[in-house]
Amino acid sequence: MQDVIVSAAEFQQRTILFKDVKSDSEAFVDTRLPGSTPKYNYTMIGSGVSANPHTPINLRLPHGFNIGGASMPNGITNNLHIHFTAEVFITFAGHWRFRWGPKGEQGEYVSEEGDILTVPTWIFRGFTNAGPDDGFLFTTLGQDVTGGVIWNPHVMRAARETGLAMDLNSKLVDLKVNPLPDDQLLPLMSEEEITRLRPYTLEQMRRRVVKQSDLVWSDFPFLDCALPGGTKQLAPVIGYGLSEDRNTEPPVTNPHGFKHEWLRAAPGNGLHAHRHDDSQVFIVQHGVWEVSVNQGSARMSTRLGPRDIFSVPKGAWRSLSCVEAGPQGQGQVLMVTGGDNRTRIEWAPEVVEAAARAGWRCDANGFAAPSAVVALAAC
Comparing 270 with 328, the larger pLDDT belongs to: 270
CATH superfamily of 215-377: Jelly Rolls (2.60.120.10)
Quote the pLDDT of residue 140: 98
pLDDT over 90 (residue 189): yes
Query: CA 206, CA 214: separation in Å to the nearest integer?
Result: 11
pLDDT digits (tens, 9 = 90+) for 85-143: 999 999 999 999 999 999 999 999 999 999 999 999 999 999 999 999 999 999 999 99
| Extents of the domains making up the chain | 20-210, 215-377
| SS3 labels along the chain | CCCECCCHHHHHHHEECHHHCCEECCCCCCCCCCCCCCCEEEEEECCCCCCCCCCCEEECCCCCEEEEEEECCCCCEEEEEEECCCEEEEEEECCEEEEECCCCCCEEEEECCCCEEEECCCCCEEEEECCCCCCEEEEEEECCCCCCEEECHHHHHHHHHCCEEEECCCCEEECCCCCCCHHHECCCCCHHHHHCCCCCCHHHHHCCEECHHHCCCECCCCHHHHCCCCCCEEEEEECCCCCCCCCCCCCECCCCCEEEEEEEECCCCEEEEEECCCCEEEEEEECEEEEEECCHHHCEEEEECCCCEEEECCCECEEEEEEECCCCCCEEEEEEEECCCCCCCEECHHHHHHHHHCCEEECCCCCEEEHHHHHHHCC
pLDDT digits (tens, 9 = 90+) for 196-252: 999 999 999 999 999 999 999 999 999 999 999 999 999 999 999 999 999 999 999
Per the confidence metrics, is the pTM higher than 0.95? yes
Quote the pLDDT of residue 1: 78
Mean pLDDT, rounded, for 35-43: 97
Q: Are 141 and 66 in contact (CB under 8 A)?
A: yes
pLDDT digits (tens, 9 = 90+) for 60-75: 999 999 999 999 999 9
Query: CA 167, CA 265: separation in Å to the nearest integer?
Result: 49
Q: Which residues pair with 125 in a beta bridge?
A: 81, 100
Burial of 235 (0-12, 13-18, 19+ CB in 10 A): buried
Mean pLDDT, rounded, for 314-331: 96
Mean pLDDT, rounded, for 250-264: 98
Q: Are 295 and 317 in contact (CB under 8 A)?
A: yes
Query: CA 300, CA 42: separation in Å to the nearest integer?
Result: 27
Query: Do 20-210 and 215-377 show the same overall fold?
Result: yes
Quote the pLDDT of residue 245: 98
| Antiparallel, parallel or unpaired: β 280-286 and 331-338 | antiparallel
CATH class of 20-210: mainly beta
| SS3 labels along 221-252 | CCHHHHCCCCCCEEEEEECCCCCCCCCCCCCE
- The dihedrals phi and psi of 195, each to the nearest 5 degrees, come to -70, -15
- Single-letter amino acid code for the residue at 157: R
Quote the pLDDT of residue 2: 79
